[in-house]
Amino acid sequence: MSVFNSSNFKKSIYYLRRNGMRKTLSAVKERLCPIGQPSYDWTPLPEEERKRQQEHVQAGFDRICFSIVVPLYCTPREYLSDMITSVIKQTYSKWELILADATEDTELGNIVECYNDSRIRYFHLSSNEGISGNTNRGIAMAGGDYVGLLDHDDLLTEDALYEMALRISQEREKGVELQVLYSDEDKWDESGQKYYDPNIKEKFNLDLLLSNNYICHFMVMRRELIQKLRLRSEYEGAQDFDLVLRAAGHILNEGEERQIAHVPKVLYHWRCHSGSTAQNPQSKRYAYDAGRRAVQDFVDSRGWKACVVETEHLGFYRLIYEGDIFRMRPQLGALGGTVVQKGKIAGGRLNEEGKIFYEGLPLSYSGYLHRAVLQQEAEALDIRNIEVRKELRGVFEQVVGVPYVAVSGTGIFDASTLPPDLDILGKSAELGAVLRKKGYRLVYLPEREKITIPR
């Protein structure tokens, strides 16, 4: 989709008012000349794959039942039809579609009656209790093994439930019973012809989730868990964010992070129209405040002394810790900051092989989905800008081969003590692997003081 449209113009004006001219010009420049953005061209499920999946289901691959819950309220007829059709066209057949309608009249119910499918369950609610309350009433009526939430104006891809069922089955073979699954998603315009702005996600990343609801759509959750947690109306607008945060907290308390799985495929189309937050973020400004409060609630529930603040980007947050973060979070093994060369990112968060995330991105850019400026968990951290928990500094010395000497007045490692011929990225990846094997988390904090290396 072209960046020259009324929606982006409105976003730029709003951004200008919030952040000033300098940051706005940088944001516009990045929008016009993006770096690190994935190329994207969504195509429908090929007919051969559709038949293969259907044959697999007919052969008995239908042991898992999904309940898809959709709250309705004054839903446009065409949106309702498109949404229902996307569910009916699923290659996976064991589902029920629960429509909880709070519209004053029963016109939508009359439309639903035209679909001759017993799996569609329509309920006309006696009162309108808002998105959270209406959805909760639908959740209470769910009978499937897993419950998925679908907005009344969005679509599922044809293979959405099949891919979810496949992943659940695969993990069961490994002895893992998944509690939460989520997929990638994209946006589509009102013409129904353009698919764009894909949200290509990563595996569960707690600190990234605390920065932004990157999990979002399409998410399914074990029925027992979602019926226990329910949506909370005091977080209306960010009720799904609050839900996934509480679910993550519950699962982490049980020590079973493996029960959260990412299905790396676009399975959800988020419709963009003038009233949606996808098209017009500031149209629901209250939702972003609710999101901030939801993160704060999670932080408080863990006993962390931290304040959740908004960043310059709507819907994105940052934790400001008050005191010793290592004391508050005993599972943290190390913290990392950014390494800069020629005004661009040259180190910071690394993957397991030592490859640099966001490498070459100008510091004035925020990166794909603003992730370069968000707090996030890391597989490894660049040892040129790292702070290691005191009791693990002996491990650092064993791996890196030099004593852990901190910069005066800080706990950050003094990178000037590193040998000039040391394999920096290799040792960083090795240290990350050792710390993670010991059960520690590593967190990248891009807002920390940056280390500049020679040209």
**Which residues in the chain land under pLDDT 50?**
4, 278
CB 351 within 8 A of CB 359: no
pTM for the structure as a whole: 0.92
DSSP string, 14-46: HHHHHH-HHHHHHHHHHHHS-SSPPP----PPP
Q: CB 106: neighbour CB atoms within 10 A?
A: 13
Report the mean per-residue pLDDT for the chain: 92
Euclidean distance between CA atoms 337 and 383, whole angstroms: 9
Write down the pLDDT at residue 4: 47
Work out the number of other CB atoms within 10 angstroms of the CB of residue 237: 20
Residues 202, 200: Cα–Cα separation, whole Å: 7
Tell me what pLDDT residue 180 has: 98
- The whole-angstrom separation of Cα 323 and Cα 335 is 14
- Read off φ and ψ for residue 452, nearest 5 degrees: -100, 130
Residue 412: closest CA among 451, 441, 438: 451
Rounded to 5 degrees, φ, ψ at 208 are -65, -40
Measured in degrees and rounded to the nearest 5, phi and psi for residue 399 equal: -80, -50
The whole-angstrom separation of Cα 114 and Cα 101 is 16
Q: Going from the N-terminus, what domains does the chain have, and what CATH number goes with each?
A: 1-33 (no CATH), 47-282 (3.90.550.10), 323-452 (no CATH)
What's the pLDDT score for residue 37? 82
The pLDDT value given to residue 143: 97
